[in-house]
Structure 1
């Protein structure tokens, strides 16, 4: 009989042999366009801090002030005694920004997605998910007990065929912006199809919230859709808002249903009140400083123009996520290593996160970057491609 030690050891050895072994970086600085690792400074192009708010002085000040008033830990779950005024204020502000009746905080995007899906779905229901959905959406669908179907990436016709063949309650689930490819879901077409087929549409907008839409409300707003088109909206606070946690926004019935039934909400300690206060300040900055989104989109366009001139194999994306396709895992790891030697931090994404043969450098841009830093990125990418 194989013991746990042998099983774990074999998996790790195989990962190393295939160039798929993951290792952590330990930062010695705050998040930002420049970070310090092992005493050396690097240009950072692998963070999800899309608006450059994670170390904003006003966000830090809000965190410190709330920590003094409410302490560090929340002490309990929201339903016991862990729900503080900053949590309530943040939920109300998120509901207002997204144009929905209510919003509900979760400790993470993973918890929000799995908790929502396992609450909404029951055995005999049908859940349809884009093939490139985030792992938390896939896990939530699989663990719900519903009949689980995956449709071809952004293929509305494939989804239509699958929906037409299903009877009963139907839920369609997609990412607003796909985390590894950076492209967007065709939300308007998906919403129209769901209306015809009497299905609900759920959107995980972790990478669109704060970045897309006229006021930063995200992919759903950018597509011209409202709560009637997308009854379930999830987004995270740890990316564009530079904080931590996540939320689900919807009508009164949805949110009360989650409060009463979502195990990931009921049985989890609430995020610290100071984190909620910091996220609320970031939300205010999101509204007041629209230049951050404008600058970010200018940098995205600048990067894509320069990459085209260099003949780089960028994947199609108009988001802050700009994947450079490398193919084999070893090639992605080598390019990442070369760039780090040149002072740039960019992660190599490999299977099982992405399909075999599609390993890539996941380049992410931030409003904190300057045009000169993006030009430096292009210069170094050109050198590494030719070396």
Structure 2
């Protein structure tokens, strides 16, 4: 809901009579009206989360999707754009592949072309970076180089709710314009307190994310040695490619019978023929548990002819 509400409203922020110009120095283009997104072109990563895709569609701007992590294609497309306002949006960690976006290159392009840049870091915050602050910290990108950073409390922090951060004037505008924020109930106090404590724990106990990433590295290396593809995974999300949708469902069922909960991702969540089991490693997983999982996957590779 954060992405669905923020993305259309971000376009409106440059048109709002509240601000003469945004923090990027773009002049106000006129009054709000039924054609709010006229003059906008959004450059959206092809593997962006479904909520980003929905937010982009609701904005009704011109949409240009660029191939996964292909900065050459993005540079050419944004350089050729005739639209006065440009918006680049990408996941930080891609939820189905587990790889990390080239944020430094996107920040450079945004700066060069005076474009807004938004990063959905739902899977990065709490896991990546020296202090667990996400994909930007992982890459050494300053928060001032990204206009909007979205995150969630439902992943690393085990709570509920989403958030977006950015310059004060833009956030103030989103508070009065993002429909999914205005017309949704606030977080219950108990959830807010729990999330606050979870953030404190993440800062206080960095071993948790270090062990989760260590577990992911071990599992990725070992499952690849057993013949599975992990689709370029770099983080705690480790997909194992199955391919066939029915076989992926069968793997999930067989793993469940062995006490392992591992839902599969299939079309239309991923491309047809790219069904996979999406494993997420945590600090609670012990080496013996991971080895048991690896043994099960090796057995299934043989019995199901994967």
TM-score, shorter chain, exceeding 0.5: yes
Could you tell me how far apart the structure 2 residues matched to 1:152 and 1:146 are? 19
Q: Deviations over 1:254-279 (max 9, x none)?
A: 11010121111112111111111100
Question: Higher RCO, 1 or 2 (CA under 8 Å, sep at least 6)?
Answer: 1
Could you tell me how far apart the structure 2 residues matched to 1:321 and 1:261 are? 34
Q: Is the deviation greater in 175-184 or in 337-346?
A: 337-346
Could you tell me how far apart the structure 1 residues matched to 2:55 and 2:224 are? 38
Q: Deviations over 1:154-206 (max 9, x none)?
A: 11111111111222111100000011111111111111111111111100000
Could you tell me how far apart the structure 2 residues matched to 1:131 and 1:313 are? 20
1:5 aligns to what?
Answer: none
Query: Contact conserved, 1:339 with 1:384, CA < 8 A, in 2?
Result: no
Query: Contact conserved, 1:351 with 1:359, CA < 8 A, in 2?
Result: yes
SS in 1 for 2:276: strand
Aligned positions of 1:274-313 closer than 5 A: 274-313=190-229
Q: Deviations over 1:188-245 (max 9, x none)?
A: 1111111111111100000111000111110011111122211100000011000010
Aligned equivalent of 2:87, options 156, 171, 182: 171
Determine whether 1:271 maps to 2:199.
no
2:9 aligns to what?
Answer: 119
1:236 aligns to what?
Answer: 152
Determine whether 1:203 maps to 2:124.
no
Determine whether 1:256 maps to 2:172.
yes
Number of corresponding residues: 277
Q: Deviations over 1:2-47 (max 9, x none)?
A: xxxxxxxxxxxxxxxxxxxxxxxxxxxxxxxxxxxxxxxxxxxxxx
SS in 1 for 2:145: coil
Determine whether 1:191 maps to 2:81.
no
Query: Contact conserved, 1:174 with 1:204, CA < 8 A, in 2?
Result: yes
SS in 2 for 1:202: strand
Structure 1 runs not aligned, ≥5 long: 1-110
Cα root mean square deviation, aligned: 1.0
1:325 aligns to what?
Answer: 241
Query: Contact conserved, 1:125 with 1:147, CA < 8 A, in 2?
Result: yes
Could you tell me how far apart the structure 2 residues matched to 1:354 and 1:288 are? 36
Structure 2 runs not aligned, ≥5 long: 12-36
Shift of 1:375: 1.2
SS in 1 for 2:72: helix
Q: What's the TM-score, normalizing by structure 2? A: 0.88
SS in 1 for 2:42: strand
SS in 2 for 1:228: helix
SS in 2 for 1:268: coil
Could you tell me how far apart the structure 2 residues matched to 1:309 and 1:357 are? 22
Shift of 1:149: 1.3
